[in-house]
Structures are given as C-alpha cells and as structure tokens.
Homo-oligomer: A and B are copies of this chain.
Amino acid sequence: MTQETGKRPNIYDVASAAGVSKSLVSLVLRGAPGVSAARRAAVEEAIVRLNYRPSRAAATLAGNRSRTIGVVLDDYRNLWFVGLLGGLHDELAPLGFRVAVADPSFNAHLDRTPVDGLMSLRVDGIVIATEPTEEMFAAVDVPAVVAGNRDLVVPGADIVANDDEAGGRLATEHLIGLGHREIGHVTGGGGAARLRAQGFEAAMREHGLSPDVAQGHGLTMEPDGYAGALKLLDRNPALTAIFAANDVMAMGVAAAARDRGRRVPEDLSLIGYDNSPLASANLLRLTTIDGRNGEVGAGAAKALLERMKEPDLPVQTKLVDPELVVRGSTAPPA
C-alpha cells in the first residue's frame, strides 16, 4: 500500500515531471519508435517516481479501441480452456492486445449476455468458446471467431477448432490397432461430442466392426461417463475397450470398470479425449487425444487479426489436427 495521495497522477503530471509534452509520454507508453533515448529515460523515470498507471478507460475512449480481445467461456471445470487462453495470449500479447474473459454465469444481471458485456468494453474482437447461441451474435459487430466448436455456423464468424471427428477416428484406430474388436463409446451432449462419436462410428465401420455407443444423462461430465459405461458393460460384457468422449468422462468410465470388476488396462482398455491434467494423473495414466488447444487459441487469434485488417474476407474454418497421447490405460486385449 502506498501513500494515499489526493489524486492519481495523469499523463500531464508525468509530462511536466519529465519536462516533455503529453504526446511524448503517450509514445513512450506504447513503446513507439522514434523517441530519443534521453527523453525516453526521463519519461520512464517520471513514471516510476510518480507511480503512474495509464488509464485504460481514457486510452480506450480516445483511441476508440481497447486493444482487448474478449473470450466467452462457460465451464471452468472442463479445463480445455486453459490451453486456449494460453495460445490466444501468446499470439496476441506481443501485438499489445490483452485478453478479457466473460463468463455467462457470472456477470449476468448487469449485462443481458456475456457478449453485451464485452461490447461495452469495446473489445476489438471476440472469441466464443462455448456452444454459441443465436442471441449472442445479435449484438456483435466486431470480428468474431468460434473456437472449439463447429456446431452452430454463425454468419460472419470464422471457426477454429480441433478436428474432433479425426480425433475420434484416431482414438478408435489406436484401439483397433491394438487388436480390439468389441469397442464401446461413451458420448455426451454438444457438437464436439457428436463429432467424436461420428469419428468413432466411421472408423469402426471401415474396419467392419459394429460400434456400440452409450450416453449418460446427456451431459459430458464424470457422472455421465460413469452411467454410460455401466450401460455399455452391462449390455455387452464382451467389450474389451471403451473410448470416452473426454477425459472427465473417462474418469467415470474407469470407476464403472472398477465397480464391474474390470481392471484397466488388463481387462478393459480405456482412451479419453483432451489430454487434460487428469489424464496424466497416476491414478489414470490415461491414453488420450490431445486436441492441441494452444494451437486452436493461436489459430483463433490469427483469424481475428486477419479479419481486423480485412473485414470482408470470406469466412474460414480452420481445423487443428489432434494427436494421440499413449499412456498406460490401453493395451492389447487379453
């Protein structure tokens, strides 16, 4: 805690303390080139001495842009967004952009939708990392990209996502390659899960195998994985492998296997999706598909930047190739 000075210093205070004009200070703040070293040093010294923090409100207002990209998130528990945010940040920070997160569940009341809140912030672009709703887009008039989901095609918004269908095939083919023939899939709600299931079914059929798909309560959380796997194991005891639509659900599958007396991987191979921190836990040592969310985030950032330059570019869909990560939960059938 520093002294409670009567007033916060502003750019004028810094300018006069450094013996220069406000414009010079503004240039130094943005690290612009073409400022003499001496002046720059003087300004920086004054900034530190006065403990000056530029007002982003004033900068946004005057510049008519916030140098901020808004991200709409909805579920903090499925940790895929961490990589997304990282990729976004790595791509954007060097260009002077910040990332602001809006959460539909928080900050309700004040704004009708999280997008409204971001528009009030005058974000320069928006990344939708939820299942997008029509309503969200009514309000958007900046470049937008939908990340991680290909379900709802939004007019004017680019799409960047991990190729969930290819990932579903990859998982399935790993199991088939190991020698499994009786393979089940536990799926859930939402576009990503549906595409993963499609990849599973396609791969199975291409190999002349019959896919067995079960769903929990329609969501994609641990209890859904548990419930779906119980259905699968009970109706088809010959099953030697299960592909779960994500890692959290795979954890539920592992519990169901245990409760039915099946060891993983000896009696049942298990593969997840996401390569979340859960997958690397010693309790699971889960083979999984890495959707490379960092790449998705970076791709979303690039799409946004391009569209900021060229608003009328045709809408693009970029798919990131998923990767297989082999750990200890898959093995050849007994």
Contacts and interface: CB of A to CB of B under 8 A. Distances in A.
Interface of A: 1-5, 8, 51, 53-61, 66, 76-77, 79, 81-82, 85-86, 89, 93-94, 96, 98-101, 103, 105-110, 116-117, 119-122, 137-141, 144, 154-157, 222-223, 226, 251-252, 254-256, 258-259, 277, 280-283, 311
Contacts of A155: 1
A106 B301 CA distance: 14
B251 A283 contact: yes
Contacts of A119: 53
Nearest to A90: B106
Contact of A55 (B61, B117, B139): B61
B252 A1 contact: no
Contact of A109 (B94, B116, B251, B252): B94
A56 B106 contact: no
A157 B58 CA distance: 28
Nearest to A107: B98
A173 to B, nearest CB: 27
Interface centre among A252, A258, A281 (most CB of B within 10 A): A281
B282 A121 contact: no
B93 A99 contact: no
Given A55-B122, A222-B281, A252-B281, A140 B98 contact: no
Given A89-B107, A110-B98, A154-B1, A256 B282 contact: yes
Given A93-B107, A93-B109, A120 B56 contact: yes
Contacts of A140: 1-2
Contacts of A58: 57, 61
Given A57-B66, A93-B106, 10 more contacts: A55-B61, A56-B121, A57-B57, A57-B122, A61-B61, A93-B107, A98-B117, A100-B100, A251-B281, A252-B283
7 contacts: A8-B141, A56-B122, A57-B57, A57-B61, A93-B108, A99-B106, A255-B282
B82 A77 contact: yes
Nearest to A51: B139
A156 B1 contact: yes
